[in-house]
């Protein structure tokens, strides 16, 4: 459960106790107030985590088990902002709203697999792209090759679908999944400057920092969305990034609010 300013209950009480074990003088009252947010930010700074004051899975895990080396770092976001020549608060807002929050499933640094979603209708197209008729596979393996989306198993089980699709055609399978924090489709690998689909996959498996790097390349490759991010036109950015239904999930409103919060926190820290 993600804990943030205003959250109350046993989860926050456990958070307080974890922070107390790390030397923060908090009262375990179960209320996520200003003192808790300050302590969370301080702990995140100490650990090299993203400094957002939000106790999500990665912060809570670091409190209990130590920082996962694959976890996104504040330094990664700083580097992304410098590369894109945008405000750090803007990159932090996009990371908060547009990413999945975690780029890997649980399993420890060595066993963690990246978050993916395998798309069987994309697999059909990619097989055609590689000069392979999808028709026989549509008949034999409709859960892996199909003209319609679906067949999802969710979570880590998607890697089983990816592996089975790889037995049909390894590169097409990689290209047919969305990957990591920002769920970028694998078929973008060449457009984003990766030398092969397998190199793309290796990057997505390496760390959340490498997944953020892919997102940066994705933004750089689209001048219009890059310009929207630079001028902090959240409505235009959300429309281009999320599609015409962006208003249904209030992406523009959420981005604007997250940007204001991060900008205030960065100004205060400075």
Q: How far apart are CA 54 and CA 97, in angstroms?
A: 13
Crossing angle of helices 251-269 and 234-242, in 10° steps, is 130
Count Cβ neighbours within 10 Å for each residue of 58-80 and write b for 16 or more, e otherwise.
bbbbbbeeebbebbbbbebbebb
Q: What is the pLDDT of residue 262?
A: 96
Output the DSSP codes for 236-264. Answer: HHHHHHH-TTGGGGTHHHHHHHHHHHHHH
Q: Nearest 10 degrees: CA dihedral of 11, 14, 20, 25?
A: 50
CA nearest 118: which of 34, 205, 47, 178? Answer: 178
Mean pLDDT for back-to-back runs of 10 residues, the chain (270 residues): 95 97 94 96 96 95 92 97 98 94 75 91 98 97 97 96 98 98 97 98 97 98 98 97 92 97 92
Q: Which residues pair with 177 in a beta bridge?
A: 118
Q: What is the pLDDT of residue 108?
A: 54
Q: How far apart are CA 65 and CA 32, in angstroms?
A: 22
Give all strands of the β-sheet with 184-185 in edge-to-edge order: 116-118, 177-179, 184-185
Q: What is the pLDDT of residue 198?
A: 98
Q: What is the pLDDT of residue 111?
A: 59
Token pair of 185 as six digits:
């489709």
Tell me which fold the domain 1-67 belongs to. Answer: Muramoyl-pentapeptide Carboxypeptidase; domain 1 (1.10.101)
Q: How far apart are CA 69 and CA 103, in angstroms?
A: 12
Q: How far apart are CA 196 and CA 74, in angstroms?
A: 29
Q: What is the pLDDT of residue 269?
A: 87
Q: How far apart are CA 236 and CA 229, in angstroms?
A: 9
Q: What is the pLDDT of residues 41-65, one digit of tens each?
A: 999 999 999 999 999 999 999 999 9
Q: What is the pLDDT of residue 270?
A: 80
How close are the terminal C-alpha atoms of the chain, in Å?
30
CA–centroid distance for 93 within its chain: 12
């Amino acid at each position: 459960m993600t804990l943030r300013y205003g959250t109350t209950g046993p989860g926050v009480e456990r958070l307080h106790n974890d922070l107390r074990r790390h030397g923060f003088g908090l009262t375990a009252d179960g209320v996520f107030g200003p003192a808790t947010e300050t302590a969370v930010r301080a702990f995140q700074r100490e650990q090299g985590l993203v400094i957002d004051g939000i106790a999500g899975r990665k912060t809570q895990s670091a409190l209990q088990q130590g920082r996962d080396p694959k976890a996104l770092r504040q330094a990664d976001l700083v580097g992304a902002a410098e590369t894109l020549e945008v405000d750090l608060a803007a990159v932090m807002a996009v990371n908060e709203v547009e990413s999945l929050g975690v780029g890997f499933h649980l399993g420890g640094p060595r066993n963690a697999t990246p978050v993916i979603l395998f798309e069987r209708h994309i697999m059909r197209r990619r097989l055609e792209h590689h000069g392979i008729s999808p028709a026989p596979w549509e008949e034999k393996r409709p859960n892996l090759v199909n003209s319609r989306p679906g067949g999802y198993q969710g979570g880590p089980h998607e890697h089983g679908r990816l592996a089975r699709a790889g037995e049909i055609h390894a590169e097409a399978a990689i290209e047919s999944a969305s990957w990591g924090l920002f769920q970028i489709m694998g078929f973008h690998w060449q457009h984003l400057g990766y030398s092969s689909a397998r190199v793309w996959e290796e990057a997505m498996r390496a760390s959340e920092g490498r997944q953020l790097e892919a997102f940066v390349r994705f933004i750089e490759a689209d001048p219009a969305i890059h310009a929207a991010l630079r001028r902090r036109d959240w409505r235009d950015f959300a429309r281009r990034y999320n599609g015409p239904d962006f208003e249904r999930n209030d992406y523009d409103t959420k981005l604007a609010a997250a940007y204001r919060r991060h900008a205030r926190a960065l100004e205060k820290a400075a």
